[in-house]
Amino acid sequence: MKITVNFSIFRDAFVDSGRSGQFSADALEILFDHLEAIEDERNEIELDVVAICCDYSEETVEDLVQIYDVEVGEDEDAKQCVIEFLEDAGAFVGSTEHGTIVFWNQ
């Protein structure tokens, strides 16, 4: 059996599974849009909140610079360096209005 999931159902699934703090509201919207785009390519995706939480993360730019040892030059924008690093790895999903980055955990 299949149901169509809108953003409200998607967000509520995180709340119902006790993972409402895993992603910010902005990050959830970015993830929803990303997963919808993937679904267009693959036909269907199962809504599995635990798998999404394992496959994707949201981190600050500063944390990502440290986690992945991203080189940021003195006159370079750290956020842009992180985005380029994640894009090169095929992991960048999006960035939120409050400055965090949503990415695929490879």
The predicted-structure confidence for 13-23, as pLDDT tens digits, reads as follows: 999 999 999 99
Inform me whether the pLDDT recorded for 42 exceeds 80.
no
Contacts of 96 (CB under 8 A, 6+ apart): 24, 26, 27, 30, 58, 102
Number of domains forming the structure of the chain: 1
pTM over 0.85: yes
Do the domain assignments include residue 61? yes
**1 is a domain residue:** no
Question: Within a domain: residue 2?
Answer: no
Is 53 inside a domain boundary?
A: yes
DSSP state of 19: -
Token code pair at residue 83: 């985005």
Q: Which domain holds residue 74?
A: 7-104
- Answer yes or no: is 17 within a domain: yes
Contacts of 92-95 with CB under 8 Å at 24 or more apart are 93/30, 93/31, 93/34, 93/56, 94/27, 94/30, 94/33, 94/34, 95/30
